Amino acid sequence: MTYQAFSGARGVRVVAHRGASHEHPEHTLAAYRQAIADGADALECDVRLSADGRLVCVHDRRVDRTSDGRGIVSAMTYEQLAALDFGSWKGDGHRGAQVLLFEDLLKEALAAGRPVGLAVETKHPTRAGGRLEAELVRVLRDHGLADGAEGLVEVMSFSRTALMRLHRLAPGLPAVYLIERAVRAPRPPFAGHAGPGIDLVRKDPGLVGRLKAKGLRVRVWTVDEVEDVELCLRLGVDTLITNRPREVREYLDRR
């Protein structure tokens, strides 16, 4: 199984941003199961460390927006997080969804019955002082995925510090340097992929070509609109990260 083995139609990969998060509460098992059913090539998730050192899939620093609780993720134990409802903010039909452990997401992807990748974004890199990256690599190593050999797991961050730490711990893992504002492009092997946001690409479409000229593969987030899919295809973007994996997958397959 290689990285290319799960390339999507037309060679463009579709990565489900926080799962099929347009339909389901982000980062929940339901969102990821839907994304797998929708034909996503890979699942994007943000990881944070709980107070007792468990890797959980949560985007925000606080639980307030996506749960019925209040507080800072890294100040709460896994047990406290697991007691919260991470579904009902999205509507009554999603009530009772629980916080997802990264390891459970990994098991879900591995059990998909086809190659489904994971694009793991590390959050709060400086605050946890490297513990998050170490725990991520430990979990991956437990599943034989820390050397990148299966091509299923990639790590992503806006932080050079986090990516360099990960590169030292697991040099074989493909790494994606996320870019919010125009910055100097990263170079392999520190990162082999660059991930600019769609706002940046709309403003500066030439950025994609400049990144590719440096030998980087390019993925763009978050691409939910047809015009943005078309723009990315014209520019030769390799991977689309989207909240709507089914629509984007179907659009690419029809095109």
* Spatial distance between the Cα atoms of 139 and 135, rounded to a whole number of angstroms: 6
Q: Which is nearer to Ca ion, 38 or 121 (CB)?
A: 121
* Residue (of 168, 172, 121) closest to 146 by Cα position: 172
* Spatial distance between the Cα atoms of 145 and 75, rounded to a whole number of angstroms: 29
Q: Tell me how far, at minimum, the Cβ of 225 lies from Ca ion, in Å.
A: 19
User: Does 20 engage in binding with ligand G3P (CB under 6 A)?
Assistant: no
* Spatial distance between the Cα atoms of 87 and 99, rounded to a whole number of angstroms: 9
**Binding-site string for ligand G3P from residue 54 to residue 83, where x marks contact by CB under 6 A and - marks none:** -----x------------------------
Q: Tell me how far, at minimum, the Cβ of 60 lies from Ca ion, in Å.
A: 11
User: Does 169 engage in binding with ligand G3P (CB under 6 A)?
Assistant: no
Residue 221's binding partner among ligand G3P, Ca ion, none (Cβ under 5 to 8 angstroms by kind) is ligand G3P
User: Does 46 engage in binding with Ca ion (CB under 5 A)?
Assistant: yes
User: Does 218 engage in binding with ligand G3P (CB under 6 A)?
Assistant: no
Q: Tell me how far, at minimum, the Cβ of 113 lies from Ca ion, in Å.
A: 26
Which residue of the set 17, 22, 24, 27 is catalytic?
17
Which residue of the set 22, 24, 59, 94 is catalytic?
59
Rounded to a whole number of angstroms, the distance between the first and last alpha carbons of the chain is: 27
Number of residues that bind Ca ion (CB under 5 A): 2
Q: Which is nearer to Ca ion, 121 or 135 (CB)?
A: 121
Q: Tell me how far, at minimum, the Cβ of 248 lies from ligand G3P, in Å.
A: 14
Residue 246's binding partner among ligand G3P, Ca ion, none (Cβ under 5 to 8 angstroms by kind) is none
The two tokens of residue 202 are: 């709309």
Nearest residue to the partner ligand G3P, using Cβ: 221
Strands 153-157, 117-122: pairing is parallel
User: Does 86 engage in binding with ligand G3P (CB under 6 A)?
Assistant: no
Q: Which is nearer to ligand G3P, 149 or 183 (CB)?
A: 183
Of 106-114, 117-125, 160-168, 243-251: span binding Ca ion (CB under 5 A): 117-125
User: Does 221 engage in binding with ligand G3P (CB under 6 A)?
Assistant: yes
Binding interface with ligand G3P (CB under 6 A): 17, 44, 46, 59, 121, 178, 195, 221, 241
